[in-house]
Amino acid sequence: MKRIFLTLLLLAGAFAAGAQTRFVNKTPLEVLREAREQNKLIFMDVHATWCGPCKTMDRYVFTEKEVGDFMDSLFVCVKVDVDSRDGKQIAGEYGVSSVPTFLVLTPDMELVGRSSGARSKYDFMQDMRTIVDKYRERTEKQ
């Protein structure tokens, strides 16, 4: 019985881990290092705790397995509260004037693209695909 319970618990944990977008809780330097090591871009969700559209994205988009798998394949994802000290600095540096704003950055913190506002999972993933495709085209020409 104990073995069955542990197996179910492990399976549930594995399912939950792959079922949503994984936002890392690391220092900025650790995020940069992870992006470089994994050869991924950085996805930054600039949000606010009081923001309704931000909560909509958290509840209905970032929890979707399809979105989580897609995001994990391309990005190291991090959330930044616009009302925090770091969030205010990032908002100023990248011209964030509304939340949610989604920034795509290189591991050198170069802005690749941005999107903002709540949207469906399909529209959100299309925005991210467009940003990544344009970035890849630009870097292939260099």
**Chain CA centroid to CA 30, Å:** 15
pLDDT of 77-117, one tens digit each? 999 999 999 999 999 999 999 999 999 999 999 999 999 99
Catalytic residue, chosen from 31, 42, 48, 51, is 51
Alpha-carbon distances of 115 from 35, 58, 62, 65, 104, rounded to whole Å: 20, 15, 15, 21, 9
Q: What is the pLDDT, as a whole number, of residue 28? A: 86
Q: In the CATH hierarchy, which fold is given to the domain comprising 21-141? A: Glutaredoxin (3.40.30)
Half-sphere exposure of 33 (CA within 13 A, CB side): 5
Active site residue 77: no
Total Cβ atoms within 10 A of residue 83: 14
pLDDT of 74 higher than 90: yes
SS3 68: helix
**Residue spans per domain, the chain:** 21-141
pLDDT of 24-58, one tens digit each? 999 888 999 999 999 999 999 999 999 999 999 99
Closest by Cα among 113, 20, 28 to 58? 20
Catalytic residue, chosen from 35, 48, 54, 57, is 54
Q: What is the pLDDT, as a whole number, of residue 19? A: 61
pLDDT of 139 higher than 80: yes
Tokens of 58: 């958290």
Q: How far apart are CA 73 and CA 8, in angstroms?
A: 26
What is the pTM (predicted TM-score) of this model?
0.85
